[in-house]
Amino acid sequence: METNKSLLFLLFLAVSAVFADEDVFIGVNIGTELSDMPHPTQVVALLKAQQIRHVRLFNADRGMLLALANTGIKVAVSVPNEQILGVGQSNTTAANWVAQNVVAHYPATNITTICVGSEVLSSLPNAAPILVNALKFVHSALLASNLDRQIKVSTPLASTIILDSFPPSQAFFNHTLKPVLVPLLKFLQSTNSYFMLNVYPYYDYILSNGVIPLDYALFNPLAANKEAVDSNTLLHYTNVFDAMIDAAYFAMEDVNITHIPVVVTESGWPSMGDSNEPDATVENANTYNSNLIKHVLNKTGTPKHPGIAVSTYLYELYNEDNKAGPLSEKNWGLFNNNGTPVYILRLTDSGSLFANNTSNQTYCAAKEGADSKMLQAALDWACGAGKVDCAPMLQGEPCYEPDNVAAHATYAFNAYYHKMGRAPGTCDFNGVATITTTNPSHGSCVFSSIGRNGTFLNGTAPAVDSTSSSSAYPVQYLNNNAFSTTLMMILGILGLTVVLL
């Protein structure tokens, strides 16, 4: 089984040759269309736990900006599309927006970027004529506050504005949009800002009617004869992502604009879809995002600009169950709204190029409201056949308190989960356990969140019988001092088979 070595979101790497004062990064988008949106402090707690150091907001929510204060997390705020017309038609409106949503929070909240709208040219065409004005007015407000060097202004664009994108060398911008795009690009060039692009190989793949191979969309390795070759440049492309980035570079060159770095403001893959969306799966989402993170942080670059990585914001932090559209629209998130990961990303062969990983900071806990008899049976199994060291839950030991089945089950479940290398299915226990990123440690009772290097067995905890009254080490005896010494001796003799990660 492939070893899950890490899930990481950010590491400062190297200086880009195109944009020398910016580190390459992986960030994450934070959407809010959830029926039960976590409180801003909960969101920030998750970001900090995962060491996510760059985020993009689709608005400038005051609660989020306050929660992000003094964290050091770099924040891209957004002028929502519904406010574009006002900001683009009035310098005063733009100045007020910047004063209320940026200046009021900076520098405590580390705002580094203002995204003016989102895919305005394709989703809000009536605002296209004033888009550049909106950027200029916002930048002027920053200039007046002496923040123009610290905070960049740009606008995320859909990759669909680029036509004839393969081969990349033939790519060009939609001609009807050039009256807006050319002055936009000149503004970005003059202010040392970024060309922001949303890149979704998932959509390119499903709309290609089989022309694009799934492996090519997912960054999976291709045989040399399967690589796509640009007949004009003879550059070889091994994935859709790189081809789209280079298409953007060539499209800019087509209008005589160069030396503007590309930042991908959205990219990801859905983990679930309707019956007619068979490729929206957990496995494909895991593969795409894992490979994308490695690709960016390893400074692979693109065939046109090798070694120049393209900083990217993953889409997105949470699944958004209130999103309209097909099931896939609701399932782009890396986490559920309770902070549990939808899947554990796999980042193998990344060397030391990571700072943190979710697999090293997940815990297995008893589900809130789980049936006590089911918990008892699962706990009995974990301390018995599961061979978990339950000695720390003995009376007088660090994890004895609180003395209830849920707390003891959480300790045992987590110990088994990590003993089995956090393998899929090892935090279920007949449905009474769940993976969480919240550390259940308390006082001197410390819960493991870190697996050990090595290999681990494929393992799923067997189903437990909620009516069972026997096990090798039933929990009801853990509170019996007469049994405690015997239990500890047995555990010492048996030891633990350390099943390494």
The CB-based long-range contact list for 52-55 (8 Å cut-off, 24+ gap) reads: 52/9, 52/10, 52/27, 52/28, 52/317, 53/9, 53/10, 53/12, 53/25, 53/27, 54/10, 54/25, 54/26, 54/27, 54/28, 54/311, 54/313, 55/27, 55/28, 55/29, 55/30, 55/313, 55/317
Tally Cβ neighbours within 10 Å of residue 60: 23
Out of 119, 316, 320, 329, pick the active-site residue. 119
Cβ atoms 408, 381 nearer than 8 A: no
Out of 266, 316, 320, 329, pick the active-site residue. 266
Helix axes 128-144, 178-190, angle to 10 degrees: 20
Burial pattern 434-453, b for ≥16 Cβ within 10 A else e, equals bbbbbebbeeebebebebee
Question: Distance (Å, rounded) from C-alpha 442 to C-alpha 165?
Answer: 55
> Is 119 labeled as catalytic in the residue annotation?
yes
Side-chain-side CA neighbours of residue 34 (13 Å): 21
> Is 283 labeled as catalytic in the residue annotation?
no
Beta strands in 274-324 (DSSP E): 312-314
Active site (catalytic) residues: 119, 266
